[in-house]
Amino acid sequence: MSERQLISRSHSFYREHRIDLRFATVRSLDLEGQLAFLDDGEPLAFDVLLLATGASAIRPPFLGGDLEGVVTFDTLDDAKRIIKYSRKAKAAVVVGGGITAMELAEGIRHHGTRTHLLQRGDRIWPRLFNEWESTIVENQIRHHGIDIHYNEEIAEILGARGRVAGVRLKSGRVIKCQAVAVAIGVRPNLQLVQKLPIQQDKGVVVNQFMQATIPTLFAAGDVAQVYDRWTSQHNLDVLWPSAINEGRAAGYSMVDVAHGCEPRYRYQKASPFNCALLFGLHLTVVGRVNGSPGEDVEQLSYLSRGSSHVWTAPFSPSYRSAWDKDGTSSLRIVMSDGRIVGAVLLGNQELADPLRRFIEQEVDLSNYQTSLMAGGTKLPQTILRAWRDWHQHW
């Protein structure tokens, strides 16, 4: 993919839609006067304002984080630096437990660089995967020539002449390397609104219309903390599809408020959904899932940017898990009260869309529950049968 293909909208798009596109930074807001001040001091008047400031990668919290050769992944320039370091370095260390860290490790290894992946836990995504699923992913990672180090964290990045020379781990071990990629999560960019009289928590708290506690102020994307019907809490949702849907909902509501009307378009958070291609292995996680099937599991998790778990919630005794495995493929579902509430698919993705639809629309599958909970080869067969039956009557 060329750099030009990364740009989602051309300048002509904005002209044709009568959008005044400015390449500038808003430095401050005057909500009472309804003014946004640009970095050159120019004021822009507004009737309604959308905060879409996104989130930024958490900076390295250890000594040596400012050395040449240490990178996080936020911007196109970051991507270029990662490629440059990957080509020059003999060895690189990747820190992080989420999808971003995995993709960084894969990308760096693609350039022939020896790659070390540090994991704080004793297996891959233990709060999301069961042991078999973790093993499938681990085998794929090792097959691509990446060294995985479990139960390890960086104590210090070592330098020589201002450049990365290695890392010292908390265990005392030293790994020589010339690049360190850090992907330990993201944090909403709240600098612009921190002192404003609006409700803030991890992000800007918004209602079902994407409206902050000041009626003319809206937020969407990584900076917005939206109501999550799956947890009955306001949560961050740092996924691209969610940002698109939140922005659309905010836009509709902003038009209503700008015309003196009450907002009418309610945003409803979809079921947590993420898919990825990691080391040649297709992965889909949808809804609420847990690391180990059984009633003794205490928490549910879902996968998002920068972390293998974003929120956790009590695991009710009404939840049951069933799964089927075949070589490098695995399928697991979580059910509650006759409905599938979560699923993990590794490898074969044939059932990804049916499962997402079942979860999103809370389809009652009580008539199929016995066969579903039997697991094994009956699981995919029963899901397909339920999908065909439901599709015929939908």
Nearest to 131 by CA among 325, 379, 371: 325
Rg (CA), the chain: 23
Q: Which pLDDT score is estimated for 307?
A: 40
Q: Please, are residues 245 and 270 in contact by the beta-carbon 8 Å criterion?
A: yes
Q: Which pLDDT score is estimated for 127?
A: 83
**Domain end point (choices 166, 184, 202):** 184
Q: Are residues 134 and 69 in the same domain?
A: yes
Q: Are residues 104 and 165 in the same domain?
A: yes
Nearest to 129 by CA among 271, 302, 360, 279: 302
φ/ψ (deg, to 5) at 308 = -90, 0
Q: How many domains does the chain have?
A: 3
pLDDT mean by block of 10 residues, the chain; 394 residues:
85 94 95 95 97 96 96 95 96 95 96 97 90 94 97 97 98 98 95 94 97 97 90 86 94 97 92 87 88 41 41 53 83 94 94 94 95 92 95 79
Q: Are residues 90 and 36 in the same domain?
A: no
Q: Are residues 291 and 377 in the same domain?
A: yes
Q: Are residues 37 and 67 in the same domain?
A: no
Q: Residue ranges of the alpha helices (H) in the chain?
A: 11-16, 76-88, 99-110, 131-143, 240-258, 352-360, 369-373, 378-393
Domain that holds residue 10: 1-46
**CATH number where 319 lies:** 3.30.390.30
Q: Please, are residues 44 and 36 in contact by the beta-carbon 8 Å criterion?
A: yes
Domain for residue 255, yes or no?
A: no
Q: Are residues 292 and 366 in the same domain?
A: yes
Q: Which pLDDT score is estimated for 318?
A: 65
Q: Please, are residues 255 and 264 in contact by the beta-carbon 8 Å criterion?
A: no
CA distance 56 to 73: 9
Q: Are residues 174 and 81 in the same domain?
A: yes
Q: Which pLDDT score is estimated for 315?
A: 47
Beta strands at 26-30 and 35-38: parallel, antiparallel or unpaired: antiparallel
φ/ψ (deg, to 5) at 305 = -65, 130
Amino acid in the structure at residue 3: E
Domain for residue 382, yes or no?
A: yes
Q: Please, are residues 381 and 331 in contact by the beta-carbon 8 Å criterion?
A: no
Q: Which pLDDT score is estimated for 314?
A: 44
Q: Are residues 10 and 129 in the same domain?
A: no
Q: Are residues 42 and 72 in the same domain?
A: no
